[in-house]
Amino acid sequence: MNKALILGVTGQDGSYLSELLLDKGYIVDGLMRRSSVPTCYRLYNVISNPNFKIIEGDVSDTASIFRIIDDGQYDEVYNLAAMSHVGSSFFQPYAVAYIDYLGELNVLEAIRKYSPPNRHYFAGTSESFGSSINKDGFQNELTPFLPNSPYAVCKVAAEMMVRVYRESYGLWACYGILFNHESPRRGENFLTRKVTRYIGRLIASDFQLPEKLQLGNLNSFRDWGHAQDFVRAMWMMLQQDKPIDYVVGTNKTHSVKEFVERAFQYGGGLDYKEYIEINPEFIRPLEVPFLCADSSRIRLELGWKPEITFDELVDEMVSHDIKVALKEKDYN
């Protein structure tokens, strides 16, 4: 039986990846930070599976990462642990550096010292491209990185460190340059979920919500896919013969305004303009204006492609959040 470690198991991607690996017959250990409030709520499908175990630790704590990787002797180590909110990274640049950059360095160093046969996946990001776009309007593996936030700078540093450890020490390590990926398990302060949660609450309140939805920049473009499709790409990347870094995305882009418009339409033909307000608090000091993947390499070489469309994603998130809000209303 293959044995995998997932750092960042309590997040959106960690929960979907746990389900995927357990379905494939893996033994899965998930790293979780100690917390006084419940953080396992996304793991409802796996928490009582006998092949799944939570281990306490922190990616930024060198001692715990060294010990866990030495003790575990895993076949595959996935580092998805991150402070992943781009806007917040402007307010907490040191936290991002410790978690997103030094955290990955801890993992690489632990594998090099204690478990070199591990295959290792690091969660890179399309934010690494920042303002950089190919002449054809897409971003692929050849597009130069030009990060526009503390989050993206730390991710680029970690991605480069993966390459350096691979080329210097022969580690079987790669990173995925993943474009935005969402789901009903997305954190509530990311754009998509913030919008769908609001729509759910609006409908559950019979349109009596006192506050409007406060948003920032509606004019940026994102390539939004479904997290379930994207964790499959992570796993596929570790099944190939050689460690190769791939761009993963849907190859289609939509503006924030378009996402908001569609979501309100799915919520019963609502006109978003009646319900939103632009609040400068949510406008970032520096924005990534346009992201659109050219993921032809992973499609060609590994046969990956997304199965869930943008419309299905929006529909699933809105339907889910209407149900959640109605349940909350009953409970109250």
Q: Site residues (CB under 6 A) for ligand F7E? A: 84, 86-87, 125-127, 179-180, 189-192, 194, 215-217, 220, 222, 256, 282, 284, 287
151 catalytically annotated: yes
Dist CA 270 CA 280 (whole Å): 24
Q: Of 19, 76, 127, 261, which one is the catalytic site residue?
A: 127
Give the rounded distance of the alpha carbon of 142 from its chain centre: 22
Q: Which residues pair with 54 in a beta bridge?
A: 30
CB of 119 or CB of 254, closer to ligand F7E:
254
CB of 80 or CB of 204, closer to ligand F7E:
80
Minimum Å distance from CB 311 to ligand F7E? 18
- Give the Cβ contact number of residue 312 at 10 Å: 11
Strands 254-255 and 221-222: antiparallel
CB of 35 or CB of 189, closer to ligand F7E:
189
CB of 194 or CB of 297, closer to ligand F7E:
194
Dist CA 209 CA 201 (whole Å): 8
For residue 286, what are the contacts with CB-CB under 8 A and spacing of at least 6? 148, 149
Q: Of 16, 78, 151, 246, which one is the catalytic site residue?
A: 151
The three-state secondary structure class of 248 is strand
The backbone region for 73, taken as left when phi is positive above 0, alpha when psi lies in -120 to 50, beta otherwise, is left
What Rg, from alpha-carbon coordinates, does the chain have? 20
Minimum Å distance from CB 126 to ligand F7E? 5
| Two tokens, residue 40 | 């396992």
Evaluate whether 72 touches 28 at the Cβ level (below 8 Å). no
Q: Of 78, 98, 101, 125, which one is the catalytic site residue?
A: 125
The three-state secondary structure class of 45 is coil
Minimum Å distance from CB 125 to ligand F7E? 3
State the helix-helix crossing angle for 310-331 and 191-204, rounded to 10 degrees: 50
165 catalytically annotated: no
Minimum Å distance from CB 247 to ligand F7E? 11
CB of 256 or CB of 292, closer to ligand F7E:
256
Residues labelled catalytic: 125, 127, 151
